[in-house]
Amino acid sequence: MKNTLILVSALIISLNAIGQKKEPNNCLNNIHLEPSFIAFTTHKNSELGNWYKNTFGLKIVKEFAFPDGSTTGVLMKKGEFVVEIFFRNDALKKSELKPGSNSEQWSGFMKFGFYTDANLVTLKACLKRKNINAGRIFKDDNLGVDLLQVIDPEGNILEIISRHKK
């Protein structure tokens, strides 16, 4: 009788777990991302698309290929926060531009920032637990914002921005 009761209890717990909707394990699930559009070019075997999809909880809305076969891509979004990734067959790695140089020397944008309603201290701790390169939080009193620096797997720098509370 005791074993039957334990088995019935375990079955009820299992059935309840099946009925529950699993939320993705994502630090940005409940954070509002203000409208932004970011586009990246990377090599054809890059995992950058999956990193952005999983890190920001994005949904794929379009996959595409150039007619000449040189590039494929993916367009993803969460609300009006949009990320587009171009996977090029002939993409150069940053290190190939000039061996020994660092990204701060290269032409082009240094980083991309976007606004959120996030508590950056909490967000940083969550991202670090997931082995995401979340660095310093800079308090910019001139702009009235705090900026959390995040570096994606290919070295692109993102600033997640939160306005100071008034």
Do 92 and 86 meet the contact criterion of CB atoms below 8 Å apart? no
Residue 8 in this model has a pLDDT that exceeds 70:
no
pLDDT of residue 75: 97
pTM to 2 decimals? 0.75
15-19, 120-124, 125-129: segment of lowest average pLDDT: 15-19
Query: For residue 67, which amino acid is it?
Result: P
Do 81 and 129 meet the contact criterion of CB atoms below 8 Å apart? no
For residue 131, give the DSSP letter. Answer: T
Question: Could you give the CA distance from residue 69 to residue 91 in angstroms, rounded to a whole number?
Answer: 13
Residue 144 in this model has a pLDDT that exceeds 90:
yes
pLDDT of residue 105: 54
Question: Could you give the CA distance from residue 64 to residue 123 in angstroms, rounded to a whole number?
Answer: 32
Q: Sorting pLDDT into bands at 50, 70 and 90, what band is 1?
A: very low
Do 153 and 136 meet the contact criterion of CB atoms below 8 Å apart? no
Region 136-156: what's the mean pLDDT?
93
Give the chain's mean pLDDT: 82
Q: How many CB atoms lie within 10 A of CB 75?
A: 17
Query: How many residues are given for the chain?
Result: 166
Region 3-32: what's the mean pLDDT?
50
Q: What percent of the chain has pLDDT over 70?
A: 74
Span 58-108, pLDDT tens digits: 999 999 999 999 999 999 999 999 999 999 988 876 666 666 666 555 555
| Domains recognised in the chain with CATH numbers | 28-90+110-163 (3.10.180.10)
pLDDT of residue 96: 65
